């Protein structure tokens, strides 16, 4: 080997070593499970109402039903729903509010909130609607 060849070999060797060093140091820390946090994990068990409260903001319920669901000029209060609904019935209502229109309370709502219709949320995940139901049924 000539001197030039030795130098070239030395440089190549150095690059190879640097390359592997860089690989080693830039290794990303392992995320346990390797999956982004599921929504359930963000809300510890039993905290379904907290999740429900957040969802009512996300879904825009409070733009009509007001802060803390206490009602506004354009939509009734959602405090005290427990006397009219259980969890399943409330989920069903949210998915298809128009099918509940024959009852006296809703006849009165129709008059009071003439130009506003409760939108149906049947395009939403039933699990999310369940969390909203848990939240609403706790409001007294």
Instruction: Give the DSSP letter of residue 125.
Output: -
Q: Binding pattern to ligand HEC, positions 101-120, x when CB under 6 A? A: -----x--xx--x--xxxx-
Q: Which residues contact 96 (CB under 8 A, 6 or more apart)?
A: 120, 122
Which CB, 43 or 85, lies closer to ligand HEC? Answer: 85
In the chain, the DSSP E strands lie at none
Letters for 19-48 (x = contact with ligand HEC by CB under 6 A, - = none) are ------------------------------
Q: How far is the CB of 79 from ligand HEC (least distance, A)?
A: 9
**Residue at token pair 């669901």:** 69
From 39, 47, 54, 59, residue interacting with ligand HEC (rule: CB under 6 A): 59
52 closest CA partner among 125, 111, 115: 125
Spell 94-105 as b/e; 16+ CB within 10 A means b.
Answer: beebeebeeeee
| Spatial separation of the C-alpha atoms in residues 16 and 138, rounded to whole Å | 64
Q: Does 93 bind ligand HEC (CB under 6 A)?
A: yes
Query: CB of residue 48 vs ligand HEC: minimum separation in angstroms?
Result: 14
Q: Are 81 and 90 in contact (CB under 8 A)?
A: yes
Among residues 49, 51, 53, 56, the one that binds ligand HEC under rule CB under 6 A: 56
Sign (positive or negative) of CA dihedral 20, 26, 32, 38: negative
94 binds ligand HEC (CB under 6 A): yes
Q: Which residues bind ligand HEC (CB under 6 A)?
A: 56, 59-61, 63-65, 75-76, 78, 81, 84, 93-94, 97, 106, 109-110, 113, 116-119, 121, 132
């Amino acid at each position: 080997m000539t001197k030039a060849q030795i130098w070239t070999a030395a440089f190549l060797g150095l690059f190879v070593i640097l390359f592997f060093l860089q690989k080693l140091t830039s290794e990303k820390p392992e995320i346990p499970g390797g999956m982004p946090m599921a929504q359930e994990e963000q809300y510890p068990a039993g905290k379904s109402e907290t999740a429900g409260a957040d969802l009512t903001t996300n879904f825009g319920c409070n733009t009509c039903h007001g802060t803390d669901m206490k009602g506004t000029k354009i939509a009734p209060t959602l405090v005290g729903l427990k006397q009219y609904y259980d969890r399943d019935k409330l989920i069903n209502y949210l998915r298809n509010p128009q099918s509940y229109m024959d009852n006296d309370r809703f006849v009165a709502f129709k008059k009071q909130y003439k130009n506003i219709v409760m939108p149906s949320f049947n395009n939403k995940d039933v699990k999310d609607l369940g969390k909203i139901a848990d939240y609403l049924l706790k409001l007294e």
